[in-house]
Structure 1
């Protein structure tokens, strides 16, 4: 029998709470998404004042990073550098903007965390806080 590990709602909430706290400290608003190992949404929060268009972008960043076990920005850079199109994947959920990060535990991808609504650098910094919160909760190493 094959068993698979994935994030739970508890871990997703820990990530969202940590990211929201930092965004509030910054006085900023964004959309935060946490996905399971297959990239399907577990939790999403759109802070007051965040752009509604960022809902889909954050969801797709989390999906991309979990599905491809790669930061979403790295996927975009590789596509640009190698000259291939995202249509190659035949799924419009793949995105290449920075801000989506895979979550790994024990060397396996268990989900993805993403932020949208700030600069790519800021999205990545906040997503890193979410990943750390999950690792802290699980007592795991990145």
Structure 2
């Protein structure tokens, strides 16, 4: 498989929402394809309004850089090699945890972005989405 199918994206959304309910938090969940285009989105009841754009920004960032958004933080700090990079793009880059690239067959084919809870909650929900998307 070279792309995330719409069916797999919806399975990812469902798994992420189930994980969020399990841990008692409300999130926005975004899934982008390899071109950073929004493929699937879900805002849970009572999720913060800001979580809509933040989740999409996390997915966009994770796919743009092919890395976890939480790992980007160290590079954009004062004195870091990419200081202030997150403010230099038309589409804002989000540089804290909750955005994860999706790999299939050793190739990055998209990303998941989750926002609305703590960083640890966002990451756990994103990991649930990826597990469902990549399940053979």
- 2:119 is aligned with 1:132: no
Highest RCO, 1 vs 2 (Cα 8 Å, sep ≥ 6)? 2
Distance 2:105 2:92 in 1: 27
Across the two proteins, how many residue pairs are aligned to each other?
A: 134
**TM-score between both structures, scaled by the size of structure 2:** 0.90
Distance 2:86 2:72 in 1: 13
The residue aligned with 2:117 is 118
The residue aligned with 1:79 is 76
The residue aligned with 1:24 is 21
* Deviation by residue 1:29-60 (Cα, 9 ceiling, x = unmatched): 11111010122111111111001110000001
**C-alpha RMSD of the superposition:** 1.7
Query: What aligned pairs does 1:83-102 form with structure 2 within 5 A after superposition?
Result: 84-86=83-85, 89-102=88-101
**TM-score between both structures, scaled by the size of structure 1:** 0.87
Runs ≥4 in structure 1, deviation > 2 angstroms? 87-93
Distance 1:87 1:56 in 2: 14
Residue ranges of structure 2 left out of the alignment (5+ in a row):
none
Distance 1:97 1:121 in 2: 11
Distance 1:33 1:88, change over 3 A: closer
Does 13-22 or 81-90 show the bigger shift?
A: 81-90
